[in-house]
């Protein structure tokens, strides 16, 4: 830190007060981009993803068995011949009838027969009267049985006689068949990999950082500066100063017009924040706060 060699302020003006104050070092901020981390890569391993699925699991394989299929029977109605059609010789007896006829017992004839009565006599002189008369034939009625229709033999046709009987008939004989017994499956839940674990290479770019350095441009120095003191100030100016500090968020204590310890602490904090000379209430500080003096 440099110090002035003069014991009194140079170029002093009448009516002004001076004090040696510390002018802080002046720094310049320089930013440099530096490599913080070289480019590289990282391997990310993703965990496998699983899912539950329902699967059919073979419990028993498909197989074949031989089976005997029994014969099939049906009830059928069958017409059976009981008596075949045939001829029958039938004797038709003779038919009689009663026939009545007159039989000549005595044939007719002529004979002499004496006449009777005077009517029959022609005259007394004629004598006995004889008449030739015809005696009719004598008949008698005779009844007799005579054959009206003689006996005969006729052929009589007899139709066949059938009978319906119910009988059990085999329509399909027994046979051997092969029957397939299907496979038996069971549904179970299985945890399967939906997405296997994977490695992913992620390239990482180089990382740079900006490093800010303060480079000192000039060293701090003690030098004479024009200040306010009791000689060249008043209570009104101090109160204006205190109000300005309070407005700038630096607490000066009571607004009483007195430059006390709290007011000077606030002034010094303001000077450090603004990069002003620190130590006294310099005119430069008063102007920075916008206070008239």
Whether 10 is in a domain gets the answer yes
Residue 194 counted as domain residue: no
Residue 42 resides in a domain: no
Q: Which residue, of 135, 156, 177, is where some domain finishes?
A: 156
Total number of domains in the chain: 2
Question: φ and ψ at 259, to 5 degrees?
Answer: -85, 90
Residues of the chain with pLDDT under 50: 1-5, 15
CA distance 264 to 283: 14
Last residue of a domain, one of 130, 156, 182: 156
Q: How far from 187 is each of 50, 56, 116, 182, 191, CA to CA, in Å?
A: 19, 4, 155, 16, 13
Ramachandran area for residue 245 (φ above 0: left; ψ -120 to 50: alpha; else beta): alpha
Residue 110 lies in a domain: yes
Question: In the listed set 156, 172, 192, which residue is the last one of a domain according to the structure?
Answer: 156
Distance (Å) of CA 227 to CA 32, 237, 258? 40, 13, 15
Q: What is the pLDDT of residue 147?
A: 83
E-only strand ranges, 124-281 = 130-135, 138-149, 152-158, 161-172, 175-181, 184-195, 198-204, 207-218, 221-227
What pLDDT score does 118 carry?
52
Decide if 119 is inside a domain.
yes
User: Which residue segment(s) compose the domain that 225 sits in?
Assistant: 2-30+216-288
Q: Does residue 80 sit within a domain?
A: no
Q: What is the pTM of this model?
A: 0.33
> Is 8 part of any domain?
yes
In a domain, 189, yes or no: no
Q: What pLDDT is recorded for position 226?
A: 59
């Amino acid at each position: 830190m440099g110090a002035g060699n003069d014991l009194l302020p140079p170029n002093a003006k009448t009516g002004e007060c001076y004090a040696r104050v510390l002018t802080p070092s002046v720094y310049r901020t320089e930013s440099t981009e530096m490599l913080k981390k070289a480019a590289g890569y990282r391997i990310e391993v993703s965990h496998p993803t699983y899912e539950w699925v329902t699967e059919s699991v073979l419990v028993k394989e498909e197989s074949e068995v031989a089976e005997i299929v029994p014969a099939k029977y049906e009830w059928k109605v069958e017409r059976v011949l009981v008596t075949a059609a045939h001829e029958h010789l039938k004797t038709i007896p003779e038919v009689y009838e009663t026939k009545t006829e007159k039989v000549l017992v005595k044939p007719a004839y002529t004979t002499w027969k004496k006449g009777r009565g005077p009517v029959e006599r022609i005259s007394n002189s004629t004598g006995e009267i004889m008449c030739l008369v015809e005696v009719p034939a004598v008949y008698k009625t005779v009844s007799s049985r005579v054959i009206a229709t003689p006996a005969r033999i006729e052929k009589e046709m007899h139709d066949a006689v059938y009978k319906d009987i119910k009988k059990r008939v085999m329509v399909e004989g027994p046979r051997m068949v092969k029957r397939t017994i299907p496979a038996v499956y069971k549904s179970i839940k299985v945890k399967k990999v939906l997405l296997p674990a994977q490695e992913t290479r992620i390239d990482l770019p180089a990382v740079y950082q900006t490093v800010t350095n303060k480079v000192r441009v000039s060293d701090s120095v003690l030098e004479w500066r024009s200040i306010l003191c009791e000689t060249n100030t008043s209570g009104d100016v101090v109160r204006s100063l205190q109000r300005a500090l309070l407005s700038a968020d630096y607490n000066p204590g009571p607004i009483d017009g007195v430059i006390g310890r709290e007011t000077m602490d606030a002034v010094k904090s303001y000077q450090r924040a603004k990069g002003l000379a620190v130590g006294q209430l310099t005119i430069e500080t008063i102007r920075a706060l916008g206070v008239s003096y």
